Structure 1
Amino acid sequence: MRLLVVCLGNICRSPVAEGVLRARIEASSLAGRIELDSAGTGDWHVGDPPDRRAIANAAEHGVDISGLRARQLAALDYRDFDWLLCADKANLRDVRARAPKGARARSALLLDWCNTVTDGEVPDPYTGGPAQFEHVFQLLDRAADGAIARLREELGLRG
């Protein structure tokens, strides 16, 4: 199973989601069964590390995202991934509008897919401060629990 987490610039929400999900997956019976990446719909930050505030906040929770680099959603992602999991409705609309003919990947709101919040969005903390980055981390941490449960069920694994 291949998952791609998508936000706007790939420097705040999606790299934190990738880091939290990766840490949880690697510590579970799903280790080695799930491939994970993140991307942005925009190209402004391609090649940049995550926002320093996102790196610091994730590190406070034992998650290292400092080695990640931003990239833009590409046409091949629609073929190479099973799910494109979007931080908010605007990104979901963009992802669906950009889908090339014959796209294989399905798309959904991340929090919906994780059975965390119906029709839920992960707010962009970019213009905020530490409290906004912590709020996003907490949302994504709870979403990771739901993602693990869903992935175990989809792959027919117990515990």
Structure 2
Amino acid sequence: MKKILFVCLGNICRSPTAEAVLRGKLKNLQMENRYQVDSCGTAAYHAGEAPDKRSQQAAVKRGYNMSDLRARQLSDADYMEFDYLLAMDNANANEMRKRAPKKYRDKIQLLLEFGDSDYLEVPDPYYGGASGFDLVLDLVENACDGLIERLRSNENGA
């Protein structure tokens, strides 16, 4: 079973959105039993908290449920346990690389490397309006589609 970890700063907006989106897409494709999906933050600001209500509201409108998710901080064990460590932005990717044992640094990528948008990073919607949460979903859905394509091609030995 391949394991995928999404990472942002506080684990209440972007990374739980990505977790919910990928879980939903994998379930719709009947692929959910082949992958473990999780999310966390590089900081512990919100450990134990549910995702931001605005993230949850935007996700529900598109059919994703995040209500059971709780924030946690990135741990040293995550580098060994997960096959993909997907950061939402360069600041978090750089922080992850600083903390990672050298042999695991190649697992760290930006989520949007799998998408085809003009964005390189998923912007943090926390201090903005509702449209920021919709943009996060647009970017994450697109990137998760590309990630699923990559996962499928890896399964098929491509």
TM-score by length of 2: 0.93
User: How much identity, in percent, do the aligned residues show?
Assistant: 46
Q: How many residues align?
A: 157
For 1:81, give the aligned amino acid: F
Question: TM-score, with normalisation over the residues of structure 1?
Answer: 0.92
Task: State the match for 1:121 in structure 2.
Answer: 121
Q: What is the CA-CA distance between 1:119 and the residue it aligns to?
A: 7.3
Question: After the TM superposition, which segments of 4 or more aligned residues of structure 1 sit over 6 Å from their partners?
Answer: none
Pairing of 1:43-54 with structure 2 (within 5 A): 43-54=44-55
Shift of 1:75: 0.2
Supply the RMSD in Å over aligned alpha carbons.
Answer: 1.9
- 1:56-83 Cα offsets, whole Å, 9 max, x none, are 0000111000110000000000110011
* Aligned-residue offset at 1:134: 0.6
Counterparts in 2 of 1:152 and 1:29: CA distance versus 1, 3 Å: farther
Structure 1's unaligned 5+ residue stretches are none
For 2:146 and 2:80, locate their aligned partners in 1 and report how far apart those are by CA, in whole Å.
Answer: 25
Deviations 1:107-151 (A, max 9, x none): 000010x24348710000000111111111111111121111111
Q: 1:102: how far off?
A: 4.6
Q: Any idea what SS the aligned residue of 2:75 has?
A: coil
What SS is found at the alignment partner of 1:39? strand
Q: Retained in 2: the 8 A contact 1:2–1:35?
A: yes
User: Which structure is higher in helix share?
Assistant: 2
Structure 2 letter corresponding to 1:58: A
Moved more, 28-37 or 147-156: 28-37
After TM superposition, give the deviation of residue 45 of structure 1 in Å: 0.2
Instruction: Provide closer, same or farther for how the CA distance between residues 28 and 105 of structure 1 changes in structure 2, counting only shifts above 3 A.
Output: farther
- Does the CA contact (< 8 Å) of 1:49 and 1:68 recur in 2? yes
Q: 3-state DSSP class of the match of 1:42? A: coil
Alignment gaps of 5+ in structure 2: none
